[in-house]
Amino acid sequence: MVPTHYYLILAAALFTIGIIGVLTRRNIMVILMSIELMMNAVNINLIAFANHLQQIAGQVFAIFVITVAAAEAAVGLGIVIAMFKNKETMNINEIDLMKW
């Protein structure tokens, strides 16, 4: 049996890597991938607790998280394509129309 807190520490590491990716990269595709990494970390936590407490609710909630991730990826990539048509760039520093 693997102790539950091992999974929590692993999920924390994955989530932090995702945060660093979102904050430091300039390529919008890598930023979207980092968001997927963070959602995976949350799913690991949910399923670890579902296993720890022997309740199915955590797994059901993880399915909803995957649904939201799929919707987010579809809309996010649609925005990326629409943006690339307008500005011909994937660099987020050049997309500063609404920057103060």
Partner 1 sequence: MSVELLLFYIFAVIAVASAILVVSSRNVVHSAAFLGATLFAVAGLFLTLHAEFLAGVQVIVYVGGILVLFIFVIMLIAVERNVHERQFNRQWTIALLVAAILIVEIAYGLYKGKDSFLLPRVGAAAAAAVALGGNSEQVGAGLYTAYLLPFEIASILLLVAIVGAVVLSKKRTQAE
Identity of the residue, 8 or 95, whose beta carbon is nearer to partner 1 in the bound complex: 8
Question: Does residue 43 belong to the site contacting partner 1 (CB under 8 A)?
Answer: yes
13 alpha carbon, distance to own chain's centre: 13
- The helix-helix angle for 28-53 and 57-87 (nearest 10°) equals 180
Site string for partner 1, 46-65 (x = CB under 8 A): -xx-xxxxx-xx-xx-xxx-
Q: 91 by DSSP, 3-state: which?
A: strand
Question: Does residue 97 belong to the site contacting partner 1 (CB under 8 A)?
Answer: no
Backbone torsion region of residue 52, taken as left when φ is above 0, otherwise alpha when ψ lies between -120 and 50, otherwise beta: alpha
Residue whose token pair is 């407490």: 53
Question: Does residue 80 belong to the site contacting partner 1 (CB under 8 A)?
Answer: yes
Question: Does residue 35 belong to the site contacting partner 1 (CB under 8 A)?
Answer: no
CB of 76 to partner 1, least distance (A): 9
| 8 A C-beta contact, residue 7 and residue 44 | yes
**Which residues bind to partner 1, rule: CB under 8 A?**
1-10, 12-21, 23-27, 29-30, 32-34, 36-37, 40, 43-44, 47-48, 50-54, 56-57, 59-60, 62-64, 66-75, 77-82, 84, 90-91, 93
